[in-house]
Structure 1
Amino acid sequence: MRSVRPDRAVEAVSDGPVAPPDRPRDRLRRRPLGGPGWVGWAFVLPGLIGLAVFIVIPQVASLVLGFADSTLLGGTQFTGTQNYVRLLHDTQFLNSVRVTAIFVLVYVPANIAISMAMAMWLKTRIAGRNWLRVIFLIPALSPLVANAAVFRLLFQKDGAVNQALATIGLGPIPWLSDGDWALAVVIGVSLWQSFGYNMIVLGAGIDSISPDVIAASRIDGAGRFRRLVSITLPLVSPALFFTTVLTVIGAWQTFAQAYVITGGGPGNSTMTIMLYLYQTAFTNNELGYASAIATVLFVIIAIFTLFQLWGQRRWVHYD
């Protein structure tokens, strides 16, 4: 019996030439307006409108106003790079950069260290650890301004903190009238406010580590420190990277704590960049100069973020 090739058998069965396969581009062109393809855009469109109205357009407007002399009452006159030249000689702005940099250098490592330590502690078999997670997360969910106002009352000269110190024979500490102590209070309140969120994220990273890996390391004789350095930290490094990036960005934008607790004082010792930007725009009525400050702050945050993205290849493990 004579064999028939498969392709010729198909030609024999079909009445005519075989049509080319339908390409996705052709199906998209034939799709009527209002079809399934537009359903996704209908859901995304409100978010895109909000992104454009509240983020993109204000950022572009701020960038443009940075090259102008403008006030909140109107009247804009473009002055070129005059605002940025002024920033280089503005001692108050340079001081705000120094104060914010000190805040970032102290706050970010302390936040990550406390969050990691608390996440590892809650990983152990302690009673009520789920309730403890909720308790530690409450400050991050509560209003920042309200918390700062409460701490301002606590750290006043005759506040509850100094009264508690007096009961054990310690003299009153000038928490809010001394520059170093005031900055320490702002950093401490910021840590109390925000470490709970990072603790939850890092705790989720620790929970994702396979128990078999930990068991194998114990069989090999690895101690707690060796397991921390060689197993826990590498496997949690994606969560560490995520929390570090967000914490650095938030630290450079610190505002409410310094504004409510100290008002930038004493002697501009807690004057952060965001607080100086706010006073420049809404107290001094220099909207153009404040926009230049905002642009410089954006560049600083972008540099730090890009540096972290570049450095993640050396210590972040996604395997």
Structure 2
Amino acid sequence: MLIYLIIASVCYLGAWSKAPKKAYQLSFFALWFFMAFRGLDLSSKVDGFYYHNFFENDVTTLAQFDFNILSYTRTVQAKTGFGWGFGLLNAVCKTICPRFEFFQVVFTALLFVLLAMVMRELHLSDQEKCLFLFFYMTQQMLWYFCNLLRQAPANLIAWYVMLHEFKDHKWIKRILLIGVAMLFHTSAALALVMIVAWEWIQKKGTLKFAQAALLPGALLMLFSDKIVGICISFMSTYIDSRYSMYVGMAEKSNVINFGLRMVILFLLCFFYRRVQCEKRDKLLAASTLCYLVGAFNGSLFVRALEYVAIGNYGGLALVHRAFSGTRQSKFVANLLLYLAFMVIFIRFFFTNAEFLIDYHFFF
């Protein structure tokens, strides 16, 4: 745990140093290194076991791999739940080196390549790259990256689709890329639906819609149980039968995390006119959807909201532009943000990621 707290601090404090570019590069590399080479037991006992077991017992080398997607879906995916794209990546790694450690290093490297592509699309300054990495780290990055979740590359592909300015055939390219994401995790189908809604919000007036969403989101959090049941039933019937496991699941959305998303959306609305950025409307629209999707009281929606969570991470990285006043008041504002998110980060370790507390390498 300590190593990740140090990297987060280097990221945030480095943003205000004389060399933010070096702080960002150091933090980015350190994060990849300590995630890629962590002990194999430093992942959720449930997720870690299933991914390791899949690699050892169900993954073949490329010579035996079923390249027919439909056939693979009927056989391997029906048995294991792992999609063709994720299976292919496992097969490539197993062909090169039959050890799960190698797959962990390669998969983590892939995630960081995709993350770098997303950050490039945000057109952030070196200082803001540090801030983006800090805010992503202290919220969901370690959960998705350290658990080797199949949804992690799907999330990043969806973020890229939202941020990239396609010059022509925009929707064809978006659909194709989301199709690639679905080969890793079928829930990426939801990302396409949310991207349509995200475009609609921007056309209707992003700020007004975001402000109007605050109260309905709170009401949804309280009274959304019936809607959640209908959505899960639809997904298990028409997208992937594995979603039926969410039917009747006792786990609910976390009220504290919902409150955090509400505060973030409020901040982005409050500082909207002070933050001049070409991606401003895209990020605010994404943050609004993140808030509304997360308002549905169910664990499935907590996973789904991550497809639009780029609005929160990217938006928070830009908030500092809105701070005005004396140098001392800016320092206090930035210090309060740092302390607040470090508390959130520490809470994450003790409530969701106890397996990461005692860090060690796999070698």
TM-score between the two structures when normalised by the length of structure 2 = 0.27
| Larger radius of gyration between Structure 1 and Structure 2 | 1
TM-score between the two structures when normalised by the length of structure 1 = 0.30
| Bigger RCO of structures 1 and 2 (CA < 8 A, at least 6 apart) | 1
